[in-house]
Every structure is written in C-alpha cells, then in structure tokens.
Structure 1
Amino acid sequence: MQSSIEETIPAGDAGYKPAGWGELLSGKNGLYALALAGGVTLHAVNMYIATTVMPSVVQDIGGMDFYAWATTLFVVTSILGAALTARLLKSAGPRGAYVVATLLFAAGTLISSLAINMPVMLVGRSVQGLGGGFLYALAYGLTRVVLPERLWGRAIGLISAMFGVATLIGPAIGGIFAEYGAWRAAFWSLLPVSGLFAVVAFATMPRSSWDKNERVSIPVLQLILLTGAVLAVSAGSLSQETLWKIVGLGAAIFMIAVIAVVDRDAKARLLPRRSFSLSMPLGALYLTIALLMLSMQPEIYVPYLLQHLHDQSPLWAGYLAALMAIGWTVASFLSSKWQEKGGDKLVVAGPILALAGLVLLAIFLPVHGNGNWSLLAPVCLGLILIGFGIGLAWPSLVTRVYQSAPSTEQDLAAGGMTTVQLFAIAFGTACAGMVANFAGIAVPGGVEGAANASLGLSVIFALAPAIAIAVAFRVNRITGGKG
C-alpha cells in the first residue's frame, strides 16, 4: 500500500530507532493503535468463545466428526479474506474496509448463533472467518502504513497481546454460557461489540491510504489450490479407512507443490518472488512462521480433552486451554523489548520451548486424572510453554519479514505473512481433525478415544517445532541478525 497520508512517516523517521510504548499509545498513533488492536481483539475473542463452546455445540446439535471443520473452514475463509484485503483497501480505503469486514463478521456470528445443525454452523463460521480474515490482515497490513518504522515492533507486540486479552474474555463468555446450556448467547454477545467497533474504526481510520492507480491482482488459482489442500485433508479425516486419509494428505501435499510452481511465474502472486526457496530470507522466515503455527493446533481439542480426561467444567477447560495464548501474550511483550539486542536468540529459543511444551502434553494430557492437579499442573505448563515459545520468536520474525521484502513487494510480503500463518492454522486444524478421528475421538469415543487422541495430537505435532529449530538457525544466518 502506497500511503497518501502525509503524517504517516514524518521527516526524519526513515531510519529505525527504538521507541517506547508511550509514543505508540499517545496522540494520533494511539488512535491508530486502538483501531488496529481492536479488530484483532474482536477476532481473537470470537476464536476463544468458539473453542470453548464447541463441546457444548456438538452435544446439542451433533456433528462430532466435523468438530475440527468448524475451525478449519473458519480459517480457510480467513485466508481468502486476508488475500482479498488489498482489493478491499483499494476499493473502500481503510475506513470502509474495516466497516465491511466488521459487518461480515457480525453476519457470520448471527448465523452461527442460529444454527440448528452442524452444516448451518459451518456456514456461519465460514462467513465469520471471511470477516475475521479481513480484520486480522488489515491490522498487519496497515501497521507499516499508519505508523513509523520505529514503532513497528511495539505495534506487532501490541497486536499479538490482544490474543492475551482475548484469553481473559473469550473463555469467560463461552464457558459461562456453555455451563448454563446457552452457547448461542455466547455468539449473540459479540453482536453489539461488533457494532461499536465498526463505529470506532470509521471514526479513527483514514479515508484513503492507497494509490488508486496501483493495480491489485488476486492469485485466484493459488487460492483455489490452498483451499483444496485444506479441504482434502479435512475430507480424508472423515473416513475410517487409513487409505483415504493418506490419499487426502497426499493430495494436499501435491497441491502445495503445485502452488510453489505456479506462484513462481504468475503475474498475480500469493507471495513475493523466491518465497518458496529456503536459500532466501523470506522463504526461511515464512517456513518458520508456518511451523510455529502448526505447533499450537492441538489447542482446538484441548477444551474437549480437559472436560473428558480431567473432569474440568466448560469454563475452566476454556481458561486452561487459553494458557497457550497467555504465554504468547507475555512473551510478545518481553520479546518486543528484547529483540533489539537478542533477536537471533529469540528466534531459536521459541521453537525449543514449544517443543518442550508438546512433550509435556504427550506425557500428562492422555492420563485420566479426575481433576488431579499433579497431572493438570504439567499440562498447564506445557500449554504455557507452547504459547510462550511462539510469542518469543514472533515479533522478530514479523519484523524481519518487513525488512527482508524488496521495496516493490512490501505489500505482498505483509499480506503473504498473514496468508502463511492462516494457511498453517487451517492445514494444522485439518490435520488435527484427521489425527483425532484416526485415534478414535469419535469412535469409540469416551475416555479411551480422548486419551488416544491427546497422545496422537501431541506426538505428531511435536514434529513441527522440532523442524522449526533447524530452520531458525538458517533464518539467523541469512537475515543478518535483523530485528
């Protein structure tokens, strides 16, 4: 996005200089930060509400086999929203884009709240995801447009921290309503907040920040392939036959490979040039981001597993599952300060901590504990470590994406980062559904199925941070200690 806002980057701000929180949160910068962080907060609170109430949803309207689909389709449409954000910004500007995104989000929320069966719920979650994808991508895409470079690290830390705010609000809303058998009201509670945010964004964000003559292209084929890859895994997860699960996973891998080939020479690209090459900074950075996102995808089943294996109420299961995001939030604040002197160490330490957390889950989560805190305590520590590890590396990784992108592909790099993150989440939740169904979470179900699923999820997804450790060392070698 080529900014037309005169005050976006004042004279003398071209070079990166450390800045404090006071500068970010005061004056015009503070208004922009409020809007950027507010949209992400709305998106994140919804995610934790949905995660917390899903066990109650399937108990009420059925569809346990499609449990992971409610998250997978939400994230798939979020990818589409993120990819279409540039087009939306060009046609509506930041102010209009935020209003459109919020209205879509609210419409999906209403449909979800009225669902009488799982297909209707999936439609609602899909519409919700489209609006949420816009909100999320707008925050990252506009950070470098409305704020000076010296505030990017702080702003990214603030945006990431909103997931921590969501962990305090989302599980409480979802858990309290779920305990009273009123999960629909949890979704209804988001509607007035959505309306209020639309008003705030309209009053705060600039009318225009785009060069109207700039051509915006949409990588239609690549987006179709991305969607197909996720749906292939999701479809495979529904079959009880191992062969079909392998076919679904193989088809997904094939489509990802085709994307790499198509995107290389396409006029409308999904990612900047050479982003699929690990010899290039963006390629290594995007892969690290994707692997870290995969590390946390067992999270979608954690409330269900805590309720069935450790006798936790919906409210407490939601809060304990949110420990991962709390760890991310705390680490993001610390990392945004530490990255100025120790960014390389943070990039490596992050996946190491995430791996340690998944190992703890593999050992303690599958044990039927009847609420025994000698088992719950290490489970909680594992969840915190996963989130803390991701949050520790995150600001450094995002800042390096901004700094490593060619000047002519800054917008594509920023949007690509969101696309990679969301695709990793969608692909990860689809794989989580496959692993959980294969392990027997639906059939035979019960304690045995939950125990098998928790072990399978922890072990399989521990591969992601293990690989990320090796890639992180490469990131440090080829990015020259940036960020």
Structure 2
Amino acid sequence: MQSNTHQTLASNSENAASAGDEEVPAGWGDLLSGKNGVYALALAGGVTLHAVNMYIATTVMPSVIAEIGGLDFYAWATTLFVVASILGAALTAKLLKRSGPRSAYVIATLLFGTGTLICSLAINMPVMLVGRSVQGLGGGFLYALAYGLTRIVLPERLWGRAIGLISAMFGVATLVGPAIGGAFAEYSAWRAAFWSLLPFAGMFALVAYLTLPRSSWDKNERSSVPFLQLALLTGAVLAVSAGSLSADLKWNMAGLAAGLGMIACITAIERKAGARLLPRKSFNIATPLGALYLTIALLMASMQPEIFVPYLLQKLHAQSPLWAGYLAALMAIGWTAASFLSSRWHEKRGDRLVLGGPLLVLIGLILLAVFLPVHGAGDWTLLLPICLGLILIGFGIGLAWPSLVTRVYQSAPATEQDLAAGGMTTVQLFAMAFGTACAGMVANFAGIADPGGVGGASSAALWLAGVFALAPALCIVIALKVVRLTGAKH
C-alpha cells in the first residue's frame, strides 16, 4: 500500500517531479519561486490569517468587554472559537471532496471574513460569540486545507519545506498578532483590529481563485460526515473547558472525566463506523497512523503550560507585561526556527528529528521546573535558563513537525489522504484545547488563585512544568515506535 500510495501521488499530481528530480534535495527557492511560490503564498497566508486573528482577539478582548460587556462569557469567546476550529478541521475532507481545492479555499476564506465582520460589528457579547464561532469554523478549514492541499498542488519533494513554512506561520503570528492587537487596543479601536484582517482575507481568496486547481486529481473514497464523533469531540472539549473554569477540584476532575469518557466513546465508535473522523486504525498505536497521531497530540499537549508563563514571569521574576509576553513568545520563535531548519534536514535525518524533538521538549520543561518556581526578582541568572527552556520546548516541536506530518501523508491509504490531512489538524487542535484546560486544572490545584501570591505562583510553576513533562517523556517512547513502524519506509 505504501508503494501504491507513492505511485498514485507521483503519477497523478500535475506538479509531481520526475524520478530524477526526486533525487535532488529541495531548496527554499524551489518552493518560493514560480507557480509553487504562489501556492505557498496562498496556503501559508490562510494559516497566518487564522493564527494572527487568534492573538489579536486575545489582546483586544479586555477592550471588547469594557465597551460591550459580557465578562461572564469572556472565556467562551476562546472556547467556542477553538471548538468551531476543530469542527472545521474535521469537516475539511468533506469540503475538499465536494467543492474541489479552489472552491473549498474560497469558501473557507469567506467564512473567516464573515465571522471577522460580525465580530467587528458586535453590539453585545452574544453577537461576538456568534462571530467568533464563524471565524473559528473558517479558520479551522483554512488551517486543515493548508496541509491537505500541500500534497495536491506541490510535488512530494517539497512537502517538508511547505510544512515547515506553514508551521512557522504560528511563530510569526505570535510576534505580529499581539503587536497589532495592542496597537489598536491602545487607541480604543478594537473594531478596527478585526477590520484590518478583511483586506488580507480578500487578497488570499483572490489568489486561491486565480491559481488553485478547480478539481483534484486525488480520487478519495466517498465518505459521510461523522456526526456522532463530532458531537462527542465537541462535548469533550466543552466539558473539560467548563470544568477548568471552576476553582473547585471536584468540578475540575468531573469535567476531565467526562471529556476522557467521550474520547473513549469516539475510539469505540471509530473502530466500526462507516463515517469516520480519522483514517482506519488511527486509534491503534500499533499502527503507523495511530503512533503518529498520538505523537502529535503529546507534543501539542507539552506546550500548553505556556498560557501561564507571562503571569508567572511577572509574579515571580519582576517582568513587565510587555517583556513577559515577548519572553513567553520565545517558545514560538524556537518552533519557527526549527521548522525552517528541519524542513531541510528531515529527508536524510527524519528518524533523528522524530526522536530528538520530544527529548528537547522534555529538557526544556525540566529547566522550567527547576528555575521558573524560584522568586528571582529579575535576576537574569534565573531568567536565562528559563528562556533556554522556552526555546527548547518550541524548537523540539518544530524539529519533529515536518517529519511527522510528511509521514502521516505517506502512511495513510491512498483513498484516505484527505481524511488523514484533516484528521491531523483535528488531533492538533483538540490536543491544544484539552491541554489548555488541563493546565488550568493543574494551576488551580497548585494554588495559583488560592492562596495565590508569590507562594501560589511558585507552586503552580513547579506543578505545571512537572506534570506536563510527563507528555514528552511518554512521547519519546511513542516516537521510538513511530521510527520502527515508518523509519525504514522514509
């Protein structure tokens, strides 16, 4: 099946390179020039829209609340956005199959633009929540389509470079998004922050309409929408998110148990369902896809303590909000740098990258566990190892990412390539949402709010880094299985 998949991809893609070209290492010039460059612009641009919007919205939400109210629903502006993004990613294979690459991308961009417009015109929090949900749906489509269309419009030898570029866009957004949102918030112009995204959405939709193919050479099997699994997936995220909002540990654990129970139900349903959320055998870690998806989920969960890093840097290490925010962004910078480097290395050193990535993440979290809880009052002898730890966490994820994503493409059956690409984004977003909720539970349990203060912050820093270090430790074990199952084939 592996050989047949590669033959199908090479023979049917209008951009596939000749056999001789496949032997030539792909450079950035190959990806960013000519028609490939236009494709890369459209795909990376859509992801950038989605990612920048996430950080802009987070930055301006205090200003939004000050004008239209709705403090009680503050957290749900993010929760509903993430849930809708997961649904968009899960439905991408169906959209791509039914509409084709060009129309699918345009539809996704229009949804994103519509949601953005609704947010900019919101007169109260319910309207804002509707806008955020529509934004999230369009953004989830754009994110999953970037991965799905990579293998359709680009030759296989450029996949690693393209995935590295797409992955790096989240790092870029981490730096650009808060700056844009902060500038508009500073002048009480949060509506303009949303409006600023609309011209770019229109531009990328136009580029996609003019350049992407109308239909795909990829003839995947027809599949139905997995409504039951999607409902359970949504319920799992909402349950864990709702549980994490409470300061009562009993409610935290109840939400977590409900979420895990729904995941168990999805696993059981997927084994026999005709309409699937992920390709066949994806919930079996003895298979290549199962091991790959679990590795991706664990890596995503590993970085979720980052949501508390700005607060902990301010409380324990006397950093200003601006500096704390940019120091926390070191994780994204590490991911971006590694994504560019590993997209070149993964062809010859893929196994080492898959194993080395989780190891670097583990080392980074250990550094945070040792140095972040100490009350340093701005002492750079403590801040430097903290910064190194943040960089290593992001660098480790970015190092392994292109090899993992490429192996997902190469391990999926030829008839389930779209499902595999959309499923990868679904797993990533779900792991982020689940990990964020769990980070909230751990921080509350450790006393970040009660008793709070320096003591509570120090305890939370230690517990967050220590508990989440289990994720990359387990990931190393699963990565060994990934190399055994896929290394010889790649």
CA contact (8 A) 2:226 2:276 kept: yes
Who is 2:398 aligned against? 391
> Which residue of 1 is the match for residue 150 of structure 2?
143
Q: 1:200 to 1:405 in 2, by over 3 A?
A: same
Change (3 A) 1:391 1:198: same
Partner deviation per Cα, 1:74-101 (whole Å, 9 max, x = no partner): 2221110011112222343322222222
What SS is found at the alignment partner of 2:101?
Answer: helix
Q: How does 1:401-440 map to 2 (within 5 A)?
A: 401-440=408-447
In the TM superposition, what is the alpha-carbon distance from 1:143 to its structure 2 partner? 0.6
Residue 349 (structure 2) aligned to one of 339, 342, 365: 342
**Deviation of 1:313 (Å):** 4.3
| Counterpart check, 1:257 vs 2:264 | yes
- Structure-2 residue corresponding to 1:45: 52
Q: 1:239 aligns with which of 222, 239, 246?
A: 246
1:378 aligns to 2:385 (yes or no): yes
CA distance in 1 between partners of 2:68 and 2:364 (Å): 33
SS where residue 422 of structure 1 aligns?
A: helix
Which string of whole-angstrom CA distances, capped at 9 and with x for unpartnered residues, describes residues 1-51 of structure 1? 999987233554896753222221111111111111111111122233344
Q: Contact conserved, 2:338 with 2:398, CA < 8 A, in 1?
A: yes
Return the TM-score normalized by structure 2. 0.88
Paired with 2:461 and 2:76, the residues of 1 have a C-alpha distance of: 18
Cα distance in 1 for residues equivalent to 2:181 and 2:464: 24
Contact 2:351-2:487 within 8 A present in 1 as well: no
Spell out, residue by residue over 1:439-466, the C-alpha distance to the aligned partner (whole angstroms, 9 max, x if none): 4545565555544443333222221111
Aligned to 1:77: 84
* 1:48 and 1:322 in contact (8 A); partners too: no
Q: Which residues of 2 match residues 88-167 of structure 1 at below 5 A?
A: 88-113=95-120, 121-167=128-174
Question: Given the alignment, which residue of 269, 280, 283 partners 2:276?
Answer: 269
Secondary structure of the residue that 1:218 maps to in structure 2? Answer: coil
| 2:356 aligned with 1:356 | no
2:333 to 326, 329, 334: 326
Q: Following the alignment from structure 1 to structure 2, what is the Cα–Cα distance between the partners of residues 62 and 373?
A: 40
Deviation at 1:315, TM superposition (A): 3.7
Q: Counterpart amino acid of 2:137?
A: L
Mapped to 2, the partners of 1:350 and 1:465 lie a distance apart of 9
Distance 1:306 1:123 in 2: 34
Paired with 2:422 and 2:373, the residues of 1 have a C-alpha distance of 38
2: distance between equivalents of 1:138 and 1:244?
37
Q: Select 2:474's aligned residue among 449, 467, 478.
A: 467
Q: Does 1:290 align with 2:317?
A: no
Specify the SS of the correspondent of 1:480. helix
Which residue does the alignment assign to 2:175? 168
Query: What residue ranges of structure 2 are gaps of 5+ in the alignment?
Result: none
Report the identity percentage: 77
| CA displacement at 1:343 relative to structure 2 | 1.3
CA RMSD of aligned residues (A): 3.1
| Count, aligned residues | 483
1:52–1:174 contact (8 Å) kept in structure 2: yes
1:77 and 1:178 map into 2 onto residues whose CA distance is: 25
Range with bigger deviation, 61-70 or 347-356: 61-70
Native 8 Å contact 1:32 1:205 kept in 2: yes
1:18 partner SS: coil
Alpha-carbon distance in structure 2 between the residues aligned to 1:158 and 1:138? 14
Could you say if the C-alpha distance between residues 99 and 447 of structure 1 is closer, same or farther in structure 2, counting changes exceeding 3 Å? farther
Deviation at 1:430, TM superposition (A): 2.0
Give the gaps of 5 or more residues in structure 1: none
- For residue 202 of structure 1, the aligned residue among 200, 209, 219 is 209
Q: Who is 2:30 aligned against?
A: 23
Residues 172, 318 of structure 1: 8 Å contact kept: no
State the 1:147 CA deviation: 0.8
Mark the CA change 1:342 to 1:8 in structure 2 (over 3 Å): closer, same or farther: closer
Q: Distance in 2 between matches of 1:63 and 1:453?
A: 28
Deviation at 1:233, TM superposition (A): 1.0
